[in-house]
Structure formats: C-alpha cells, structure tokens
Amino acid sequence: MSSNTMQINFVLNHEKVQAVIETHHTVLDVLRNTFSLYGARESCGQGLCGCCTVIVDGKSVSGCLYLAAALDGCTVQTVESLDAGGSLHPIQQAFIDCGAFQCGFCTSGFLLMSKQLLESNPDPSEAEIRNHLSGNLCRCAAYPEIIQAVRLAASRINTAQQEA
C-alpha cells in the first residue's frame, strides 16, 4: 500500500465491507468505482445540488465532496438499500405514483432525504418538507409532485403502522 492509499472498513447498506482507496477519493468515487453502486450521481460536484446524497451515520452528506477516508468505521446508506427484500420502499412507490420525477437524475437524493425526514418527523407539514429538501435541486422542476409524494408516503406509512 503506497503512502497515499489506505484501507477503510465500514458498513455499507447493512453489510460489512472494506476497500483500499486513494486518500483523495470521494465517497462517490468509491461507491461507483469499487462497489458499482450508481444511484448517487455527480451533477454540480460542488456540494450544491444533492444528486450525490448518501447517509453516513444518520447524517446526509454530499458524496461528491466527502472524502472516502472519513468513512472508516462508519455506517453508510445509499439509495440501493431502500428496496432491500425486493419490494419498493413506500417512498419509492409514492414517487412513482405521484410522477415525482422526469429524467430521474436527482431522484436518489430526494428519496434518501425524504426517508430521513419521515424517520424523524412522521407527519411533516408542506413547509417542513420544503425546508428539509431545500438542499436538493431538480432541474426538471418536479417539486410539486415531490412534495405530494412525500406527503403520500407519510400517510401510507402512518396508516400501515396504525393497522399493524
């Protein structure tokens, strides 16, 4: 291992993994090039659009800027974890049902941020949804449908919990 490489060990979508990385590699580099996870995407490359969002130890980070070296010992969640078990997460289904995307380039970031919101606030107001998703940009301007989808997902999750 050269002086600018290191091994990192972390939990990725519920599995313990390890990778040898270069110290300048970003999270996005490692997810895409080492683990073939392509859901998080690079758009602005400057931490401004949310297309590269991943969740690290429960907090959303910009995968285009966050250094992979900082993942050592962390728990990482990407959009690929949402349909674990073969069925869509209620947030994914709501995005489909509401037509909350056009090109879909921004969608993985919106899905992860929406899931994070509903885990901490199961019944958010429209203002709370807008505020939580304010760091995510959609060039196709599907914002009304995205808000609608988050509200639909919240309602379905809450109904399912009441019936359980």
Residues that bind ligand FES (CB under 6 A): 42-45, 47-52, 62, 64, 101-106, 138-140, 142
In the bound state with ligand FES, the residue whose beta carbon lies nearer, of 47 and 151, is: 47
Whether 27 and 71 have beta carbons less than 8 Å apart is answered as: yes
In the bound state with ligand FES, the residue whose beta carbon lies nearer, of 15 and 82, is: 82
Q: How many residues does the chain have?
A: 164
Q: Which two tokens stand for residue 159?
A: 């109904």
In the bound state with ligand FES, the residue whose beta carbon lies nearer, of 10 and 101, is: 101
In the bound state with ligand FES, the residue whose beta carbon lies nearer, of 122 and 144, is: 144
Residues 6+ apart with CB under 8 A from 71: 8, 10, 27, 30, 56
Q: Where are the alpha helices (DSSP H) in 54-124?
A: 90-98, 107-120
Give the shortest CB-54-to-ligand FES separation in angstroms: 10
Give the shortest CB-114-to-ligand FES separation in angstroms: 13
CA-CA distances (angstroms) from residue 17 to 9, 53, 131? 6, 20, 34
Give the shortest CB-24-to-ligand FES separation in angstroms: 16
Give the shortest CB-150-to-ligand FES separation in angstroms: 14
- Name the burial class of residue 73, with classes exposed (0-12), middle (13-18) and buried (19+) by CB atoms within 10 angstroms of its CB: exposed
